[in-house]
Amino acid sequence: MTRFRRITNCTIVTPTGTAAQHGAAMGHLTTITDAEIHIADERIAYAGSAEAAPQAPEEGVTMLPDIDARGCVVLPGFVDSHTHLVFGGLRADEFKMRLNGASYMEIMNAGGGIQSTVNATRGADHSDLYDKALYHLKQMSAMGITTVEAKSGYGLSLDTERKLLEIISELRSSSVPMTVVATMMAAHAVPAEYNGDTEAYVDHIIADMLPQLRSLADICDVFTERGVFEIEASRRLMSAAKALGYKLKFHADEITTLGGAELAVELGALSADHLLHVGDKGVKALAASDTVATLLPLTAFALKEPYAPARRLIDAGAAVALATDFNPGSCYSYSIPLLIALACIYMNMTIEEVITALTLNGAAALGLAADTGSIEVGKYADLAILNTSNINDLPYFIGINQVGTTVYHGSAVGVDHTPTLP
Ligand code: NIG
Ligand code: FE
């Protein structure tokens, strides 16, 4: 050990374990009042009552100043396990068309949607894309996010997908301390130059992109949807990805009930995401599997779609995670505070379930639950120190950031993002 620091005078609230919690267990949090957290280098060395805490080491160690949590709650840092972080351009005009009644799919079929961001992203230079993504990471960090997933998928050619994945990899060593996980999502849409020839594009992804981009991403994702990548095309693509050692994620049953959730389970995916229209079979399959059901309420909110059936999934025994889906089309938001309010108000999740969904289960949806997602000895000290002592304030203070200090791998990233209510 070379560095040691304590977080004193806190209430620890955390799920426990090194894998996702399922069903009713999602609501079981450990709460320790009058607690202390000790951090040795980047990891948690003690998390428990202040009374029973061991002495701080005396010599041979750099002692960093204590962080006094002033009686507030400390949660595990939030894990945003689904974002489309790197893109060029904005689509406010499209948002306005939707406000006037056009559907997401109508806009997409008229040449807008993902393809318009692909055009803007292909035309953008490296530093512009990087700077914008970095800006977003800073805002996310101030809301307590310590791990973020970032998908490619607005390049849709070998070179442009590589460019996006390289940017994601550079963000990892940027000035914003955060774990950045790269996901390859060339199967986000069939690019215009393929004139709708999905099979030919899938052939290209399998033959060229999957093997050549493997060193830049550990996870592969696909938009499994009617009229985009249907079940057979998705199965062919994702089986090839799996054979190369990629872990899998699916955009599943977002717009129609196609069976994406069942396919995700069949292929042993880390997660099936969206699930606004998941069918009974999909719910059953997820409940009986280790595939995390990742729900994205900010997207349902922005698209005015019905929310994913969180209660049905949890009550059936599934492991549910929550993430933002930040992207320029269906959801220009990474507001964790708003997401928490939506999940509690409209999806009928309890705040305890929401906390598990945003921490441990999010980590499991990225294959990282052994290292982060809960406040336990041995895990990284990735923490969100709130400005309140009551977790019920999280959904109640609607859309208001209540993270005071974010701690990443033992270092305070920002202090007093939002001060405590006088
Ligand atoms: O997760 N569904 C596909 N992908 C994104 C939207 C991307 C876009 O509209 O640019 C999503 O909602
Ligand atoms: Fe998405």
Mean pLDDT of the chain: 96
- For Cα atoms 168, 188, 110, give the angle at the middle one, nearest 5 degrees: 125
Domains and CATH numbers, the chain: 2-76+374-413 (2.30.40.10), 78-364 (3.20.20.140)
For range 55-78, the mean pLDDT: 93
How far is ligand 1, taken at its centre, from the CA of residue 115, in Å? 11
Identify the pLDDT of residue 1.
Answer: 79
Identify the pLDDT of residue 176.
Answer: 87
Q: Are strands 383-386 and 62-63 parallel, antiparallel or unpaired?
A: unpaired
Contact 345, 315 (CB under 8 A): no
* Cα four-point dihedral sign 221, 318, 408, 134: positive
Give SS3 for 283.
Answer: helix
Please say if the pLDDT value at position 418 is more than 80. no
Identify the pLDDT of residue 68.
Answer: 95
Identify the pLDDT of residue 153.
Answer: 98
How far is ligand 1, taken at its centre, from the CA of residue 33, in Å? 41
State the CB neighbour count (10 A cutoff) for residue 311.
Answer: 14
What is the band of 415 on the pLDDT scale with cuts at 50, 70, 90?
confident
The finding on whether 223 has its CB within 6 A of some atom of ligand 1 is yes
126 sits in which H/E element: helix 126-142
Q: Which of 105-109, 147-151, 302-306 has the lowest mean pLDDT?
A: 105-109
Portion of the chain with pLDDT greater than 70, in percent: 100
Percent helix / strand / coil, the chain, rounded to 5: 35, 25, 40
The finding on whether 253 has its CB within 6 A of some atom of ligand 1 is no
State the CB neighbour count (10 A cutoff) for residue 418.
Answer: 18
pLDDT in tens, 29-43: 999 999 999 999 999
| Dihedral of the alpha carbons of 374, 253, 23, 339, in degrees to the nearest 10 | 50
For range 367-378, the mean pLDDT: 98
What is the band of 417 on the pLDDT scale with cuts at 50, 70, 90?
confident
Identify the pLDDT of residue 419.
Answer: 79
How far is ligand 1, taken at its centre, from the CA of residue 178, in Å? 23
Tokens 């057979």, located at residue: 232
Identify the pLDDT of residue 56.
Answer: 86
Give the closest residue to 416 by CA, choosing from 135, 69, 148: 69
Tokens 């294959």, located at residue: 367
* Cα four-point dihedral sign 39, 40, 42, 45: negative
Q: Which atom of ligand 1 is nearest to the CA of 82?
A: 1
pLDDT in tens, 5-28: 999 999 999 999 999 999 999 999
Work out the burial of residue 120: count CB atoms within 10 Å of its CB; fewer than 13 is exposed, 13-18 middle, 19 or more buried.
middle
Contact 223, 187 (CB under 8 A): yes
pTM recorded for the entire structure: 0.97
What is the band of 72 on the pLDDT scale with cuts at 50, 70, 90?
very high
pLDDT in tens, 237-247: 999 999 999 99
Please say if the pLDDT value at position 104 is more than 90. no
Give SS3 for 84.
Answer: coil
Nearest ligand to the C-alpha of residue 89? 1
For range 93-115, the mean pLDDT: 90
For range 126-130, the mean pLDDT: 98
Nearest ligand to the C-alpha of residue 302? 1
Identify the pLDDT of residue 422.
Answer: 86
How does DSSP assign 3-71, residue by residue? Answer: EEEEEEEEEEEE---SS---GGGGG--EEEEEEEEEEETTEEEEEEESTTPPPPP-SSSEEPPPEE-TT
pLDDT in tens, 184-220: 999 999 999 999 999 999 999 999 999 999 999 999 9
Query: CA-to-CA distance for 363 and 350, rounded, in angstroms?
Result: 19
